[in-house]
Structure 1
Amino acid sequence: MGQSVGAVVAGCAVVPAAIALLRWLEGAEERRKIQVQATQLPACLELFAAALDAGLPLRATVRHLAALVPEPSAELLRGVLGHLDLGRSDSQAWLELREHPVWGQVARDLARCASSGAGVAETLAVHAQEARATARARREMAAHTVGVRSVLPLSCCFLPAFILVGVVPIIAGTIGSFALLG
């Protein structure tokens, strides 16, 4: 009887921990995906704007971009293409991404431009500049935190080495000199 109660208690503890671990792993994968999309965004938008400036229609540009850009950005563009292929308007298709953390603002502006007829290429160029500035600020912030993040590993390596090379010989020499005196 005691073993089955112990197994139930252990199961009640392990199952939530496993679920929490799986959610954390899924969240880490999603964060990595969003980070990659943020890195790819400026180049994608510049390519998008260049194709539109060259005279390609919006839908054809999205189709070409979905084939050219790397994953995971291509996956998002294929999703927009799927909505366009189903017969949705450009505005409706882009609004599907309105809540996306990276492409959200771009998608809202593209939907607005598609419904109003405003110039899309200029909007994309502005978003590309903003995305590059944001990426630059993120890199600078990461560079500023390198010193702080390196303190613990350096202290874990250099402190024991200092003790072994600097302090231990002094203590050993002092103990040795006391042994000779005594």
Structure 2
Amino acid sequence: MHTTEWTTASAGGALTALLGGAVRALRARCVLRGRARAVGMPVHRPRRGGRRGSWSFGRPGGRLRLPPGFGRYGAGLLLGTGVAVSFHGLRALLAGVLVAAACCRWLPERPTAEERRAQAESAALRAQLPLTADLLAGCLASWCAPATAAEAVAGAVAEPMATRLAEAAADLRMGGDAEESWARFGSDPALAPLGRCLARACASGAPPAAGLARLAEGSRASAAAAAQQRARRAGVLATAPLGLCFLPAFVLIGVVPVVTGLAGTFLVHT
């Protein structure tokens, strides 16, 4: 068997195995759904956790779960197979193996459910930071105790900031050191500026209202700048596919005929 035929057969076998595994997984899911409905077991989509489109059979642990790294290794296998099939010879096979290995090594892994939840919570805390700082500044400027101010603001803001403030207020009510309590409150990177501001005010005895107001203003300015940067980046990313579509057409229609005509004229004269 020639090298080209062996490469094509190997790539086809790998692709067939991958598609066969996906078909078997989908068939098993359909069989489980049919059995669950036959016995009257509830079949529903989970509201929290799990992947979009996954199904649960009577209990949260009954969802179809892919092994870790399935997407990365599957993409590497598909890309390596495409490179090996697109060209011929042993070099194409080696290039396909290298491409597959590089994809498996350097492609980013899909974040887990816990990582996505932590990212969403951190983003929510950053969004709530300016309002929380303004409310704390107003409460502390009216000579409220730190624990009372934290409890009042915790009742006025939404989660997850309300839980963090309630924990800090409970710690202060139990007689904990104010500086240490606010330092623990600011252990989250999203709340670190607010925790440092309050801990510094407790250590120095200075009124924290002015610092909190400056923190709220700076947080709003940073959020506005980040939103503008995302908008500019979205515009650049939107024009990139158009450039990739029009550039080959421009080269084929505008550049290639000119070069071909000049080359033909040069060859005729020589």
Q: Report the TM-score when normalising by structure 2.
A: 0.48
Q: Do residues 48 (structure 1) and 154 (structure 2) align?
A: no
Q: Do residues 114 (structure 1) and 186 (structure 2) align?
A: no
Q: Do residues 82 (structure 1) and 170 (structure 2) align?
A: yes
Aligned to 1:37: 125
Matched position secondary structure for 1:55: coil
Distance in 1 (CA, whole Å) between partners of 2:170 and 2:68 is: 37
Instruction: Pick the aligned partner of 1:91 from 169, 176, 179.
Output: 179
Q: How does 1:67-78 map to 2 (within 5 A)?
A: 67-78=155-166
Distance in 1 (CA, whole Å) between partners of 2:142 and 2:187 is: 29
Distance in 1 (CA, whole Å) between partners of 2:110 and 2:172 is: 34
Cα pair 2:148 2:169 within 8 Å, conserved: no
Distance in 1 (CA, whole Å) between partners of 2:185 and 2:146 is: 16
Unmatched runs of 5 consecutive residues or more in structure 1: 1-9, 160-182
Aligned to 1:141: 229
Aligned to 2:150: 62
Distance in 1 (CA, whole Å) between partners of 2:158 and 2:113 is: 23
Residues 122 and 32 from structure 1, CA distance in 2 versus in 1: closer, same or farther, beyond 3 angstroms? same
Residues 145 and 123 from structure 1, CA distance in 2 versus in 1: closer, same or farther, beyond 3 angstroms? same
Task: State the aligned residue count.
Answer: 145
Matched position secondary structure for 2:185: coil
Residues 103 and 146 from structure 1, CA distance in 2 versus in 1: closer, same or farther, beyond 3 angstroms? same
- Pick the structure with greater CA Rg: 2
Distance in 1 (CA, whole Å) between partners of 2:160 and 2:215 is: 19
- Over the matched positions of the two proteins, sequence identity in percent amounts to 27
Cα pair 2:147 2:173 within 8 Å, conserved: no
Q: Which amino acid aligns with 1:78?
A: A
Residues 26 and 153 from structure 1, CA distance in 2 versus in 1: closer, same or farther, beyond 3 angstroms? farther
Q: Which amino acid aligns with 1:62?
A: A
Unmatched runs of 5 consecutive residues or more in structure 2: 1-20, 22-65, 71-108, 246-270
Distance in 2 (CA, whole Å) between partners of 1:91 and 1:58 is: 11
